[in-house]
């Protein structure tokens, strides 16, 4: 499983990365956020068995379908379940947040036909606030990091990332470093 | 006659098995479109962010399209 919190990752580059620009943090939503979808998938896998038993119990059966047709319907069902699980996984996998020594990058895969990439230079960041709300968030130590910027997109939110306080600290630290650099220098 | 016969004919033609077949074929066609979009999304995202398992995801997406196409032909043949 790909990590959800990587410091100074090696071998990862992203589209539009400048020469000398280094990735400091590479983040994905916490793995715990996949648990509800995993449970739904497990339920969907067993649903035909449950449905079959319930139908037999109540005396109703799909008598108008032949054995082959029932098998086809089962295969179709499992194709749909696979599609659901696969879609949820890539939805999670391609939601990536990057902190580099120059900017923050937000790769958003919001839906089947909705892909968004947003950038904000570190010297445009005005405020960073980590948020952990709820039992699971506190227990597994993940949450949102809200970033206010003076960039074209005024607000960024890193959703359900691990160790949000550490992420906020790293962003602020790099903002301070960036403010100390002369304009145009990538370091 | 004719009304009864044509009503019977209608129900013979549109029996439940035929309804299920039409439903499955329609949904498999939607499924294939969905699988194609997923494949294209993976291609684009993997280009923007090349990462470890992206080739496996692409392979899984191609496999999904292949299986869906094969399934469509099986449904047309078997039902």
Supply the mean pLDDT for chain A: 86
- The B-side interface with A (CB below 8 A) comprises 15-17, 20, 24, 27-28, 31, 34-35, 37-38, 41-42, 44-45, 47-53, 57, 60-61, 64, 67-68, 71, 74-75, 78-79
A54-63 pLDDT per residue, tens: 777 777 666 6
Please indicate, yes or no, whether the overall pTM of this predicted structure exceeds 0.95: no
Model confidence at A170: pLDDT above 90: yes
Give CA–CA dist A9/A4, Å, rounded: 11
Please tell me the distance from the alpha carbon of residue B13 to that of residue A48, in angstroms, as a whole number. 28
Does the residue B61 lie in any domain?
A: yes
Question: A15, B53: Cβ pair inside 8 Å?
Answer: no
Cα–Cα distance, B48 to A172 (Å, whole number): 26
pLDDT of A99 strictly over 80: yes
The contacts of residue A52 (CB under 8 Å, 6+ apart) are none
- Is residue A138 a contact partner of residue A132, using CB atoms and an 8 Å limit? yes
Asked if residue B55 belongs to a domain, the reply is yes
* In the predicted structure, residue B1 carries a pLDDT above the cut 60: no
Which chain A residue is nearest to residue B71, measuring alpha carbons?
A: A76
- Residue-wise pLDDT tens digits, A38-55: 999 999 999 988 888 877
Q: Which of residues 35-74 of A touch B (CB under 8 A)?
A: 64-66, 68-69, 72-73
pLDDT at A1 over 50: no
Contact criterion met (CB below 8 Å) for A30 and A4: yes
In a domain, B41, yes or no: yes
**Residue at B78 is within a domain:** yes
**Position B59 in a domain:** yes
| Tally of domains in chain B | 1
The answer to whether residue B15 is domain-embedded is: no
B48:A117 CB<8 A:
yes
């Amino acid at each position: 499983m790909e990590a959800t919190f990587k410091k100074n990752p090696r071998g990862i580059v992203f589209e539009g990365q400048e020469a000398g620009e280094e990735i400091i943090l590479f983040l994905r939503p916490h793995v715990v956020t996949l648990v509800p979808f995993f449970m739904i998938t497990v339920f969907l896998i067993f649903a035909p068995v449950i449905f079959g038993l319930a139908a037999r119990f109540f005396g109703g059966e799909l008598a108008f379908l032949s054995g082959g047709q029932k098998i086809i319907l089962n295969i179709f069902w499992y194709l749909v379940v696979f599609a659901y699980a696969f879609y949820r996984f890539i939805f999670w996998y391609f939601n990536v947040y990057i902190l580099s020594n120059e900017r923050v990058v937000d790769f958003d895969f919001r839906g089947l036909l909705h892909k968004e990439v947003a950038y904000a230079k570190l010297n445009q960041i005005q405020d960073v606030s980590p948020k952990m709300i709820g039992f699971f968030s506190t227990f597994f130590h993940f949450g949102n990091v809200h970033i206010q910027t003076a960039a074209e997109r005024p607000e960024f939110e890193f959703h359900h990332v691990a160790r949000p306080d550490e992420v906020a600290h790293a962003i602020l630290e790099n903002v301070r470093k960036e403010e100390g650099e002369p304009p145009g220098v990538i370091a | 006659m004719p009304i009864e016969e044509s009503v019977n004919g209608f129900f013979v033609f549109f029996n439940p098995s035929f309804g299920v077949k039409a439903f499955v074929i329609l949904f498999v066609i939607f499924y294939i479109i969905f699988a194609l979009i997923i494949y294209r999304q993976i291609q684009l995202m993997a280009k923007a962010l090349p990462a470890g398992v992206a080739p496996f995801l692409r392979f899984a997406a191609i496999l999904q399209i292949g299986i869906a196409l094969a399934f469509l032909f099986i449904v047309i043949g078997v039902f």
